[in-house]
Amino acid sequence: MSIPSIIVERLSKTFGRSPVLRDIGFEIHAGEMVALIGPSGSGKSTLLRHLVGLTRADRHGGRVRLQGREVQAAGRLVSARRHERCRVGYIFQQFNLVGRLSVLTNVLVGRLGRMPRGRALLARFTEAERAMARRALARVGLAQLADQRANTLSGGQMQRVAIARVLMQDAEIILADEPIASLDPRSAQEVMQILQRIHEEDGRTVVITLHQVDVARRFCKRAIALKDGRLYFDGPIGGLTDARLTALYDNAGLDELKPRSPATDLAAPVGALG
Amino acid sequence: MNQSSVLNAAAGKRGWGSLLGWALTLGVLSWAWQGAEMQPALLVANADNMAALAGDFFPLEFGSLGHYIDQMLVTIQIAIWGTLLAVLVAIPASLLSSENLTPWWVHHPVRRLMDACRAINELVFAMLFVVAVGLGPFAGTLALFIHTTGVLAKLFSEAVEASEAGPMEGIRVTGAGRIEEIVFGLIPQVLPLWISVSLYRFESNIRSATVLGMVGGGGIGVALWETMRGFQYGETATIMLVIIVAVTLLDMASQQVRKRFI
């Protein structure tokens, strides 16, 4: 196997005085689908933000490499060309679409990093780019909504538009930060299935932070678990035994600990979140 | 201490606090009353003078109405360009003076510069520009432009600072550059407010432009000043009527435009 897609070395982050990430390290190879789990406040979202440089680590806080390119080291972001940053897609819990723009424009925005500067600034998208955006929307099942304003959509639809935006980027790595935490059970299921399909059909590397262990078990082969900002577990998801899970969620919210059978569907934990 | 006495003590504290507040308010008001030499009795005592003056306004003199309308159009033209230039400069200035976009060593100096533009009244700027570019509408346009830039930059940047960070992060992580992030993630959020504020400033610039002529800044203010100095109050009244009609019509038109964007 070539160099790993994602390399995290000795990553540490402190907010004020409280440490959020302590000495995290792992590697993820191309084509893996990995669940990043842990109780609320364990640092999993912060870790994901470090991977794209939305948050900077401490001054002696280690480094992050994606596809052989340094993203940050010792608390400094390493600048990169637009088309290099474009190769990593990011999905947010709160979707982060631009509400007043059309759905199609929100998807086209995924191409900005690969367009010539002048055309990007004037929003002069070509016919080919528009066609590509429509295909991306069709893949997430929203072709018919292309001309609506994004703020008229439901949460599940918005998240699918966000996925279409990542498809438009043609990103080799897809990072999803709690992509289903704000969604109803059915939308959550759809979003997870779409991500899985992209992973399987396009061979994309996918890292998803999740707080529902059963969802992680169903969709991911490997899990990385954080507890109090430390790496608690990294391995095949089967290795997360009930005893380990109990210890992982020890002192955490009890709703995340409910005993579950393999047949549990998404409804229970997502619904419990409210 | 039992519970009721605790409550009483609390009420007493609040009582003293509010009493102090009232005393302070009254103090400020009476201090300002003296400074402003408020003498309402004068209005009654000089009622005759005022009635005589008001009488001089009638009958209105319509002989030069065409000239006044032309001058009013010049006034509107001054307001149009004064506002447009201000909007164009205020957009980058407001982005540079927004805390969430720039480091402190950029936004502090830009803000202070905009404060200075805003602090000086249009009339003062008009007098300065008359020296620089000579008497006439261009001096007035520049005066409006500078003052309005200061006002709009502040209002625009308040909208920017109140915008959501999420959509911009969403654009950033696609690999887009900093400017694309602003164009696609920020501008759509703030545009309705920017348009509304600009139109409002256009309305008030028309009102300001009507007096710029008094200091040589062109427009209908020139005629207003000359007729008043010449005691031709019938003409003055006609000019005031022209101003009132024009300002009302433009306010109504601008409200219609504003409704479309919000």
Tell me the pLDDT of chain B (262 aa) as tens digits.
Answer: 455 555 555 555 668 889 999 999 999 999 999 999 998 888 888 888 888 888 888 888 888 899 999 999 999 999 999 999 999 999 999 999 999 999 999 999 999 999 999 999 999 999 999 999 999 999 999 999 999 999 999 999 999 999 999 999 999 999 888 899 999 999 999 999 999 999 999 999 999 999 998 888 888 999 999 999 998 899 999 999 999 999 999 999 988 988 887 7
Q: Which amino acid is at B79?
A: A
Domains of chain B, by residue range, sit at 3-44, 65-261
Helices (H) and strands (E) in chain B, counts: 12, 0
| For B172, nearest residue in chain A (alpha carbons) | A54
How much is the pLDDT for B56?
A: 87
Which residue of B177, B179, B184 is in closest CB contact with A109? B184
Is A84 within 8 Å of chain B by CB? Answer: yes
CATH architecture of structural domain B65-261 = Orthogonal Bundle (1.10)
Residues of B in contact with A95 (CB under 8 A): 166, 170
Is A83 within 8 Å of chain B by CB? Answer: yes
Domains of chain A, by residue range, sit at 1-87+175-274, 98-170
Report angle CA A116, A121, A124 to the nearest 5 degrees: 75
Contact B166 A90 (CB under 8 A): no
Contact A101 B170 (CB under 8 A): no
Check residue B120 and report its DSSP letter: S
Which residue of A99, A100, A121 is in closest CB contact with B179? A121
Cβ–Cβ pairs < 8 A, chains A and B: 80
Q: Which CATH number fits domain A1-87+175-274: 3.40.50.720, 3.30.230.10, 1.10.8.50, 3.40.50.300?
A: 3.40.50.300
Q: Mind listing the pLDDT tens digit for each residue in A178-200?
A: 999 989 999 999 999 999 999 99
How much is the pLDDT for A265?
A: 43
**What's the ipTM?**
0.82
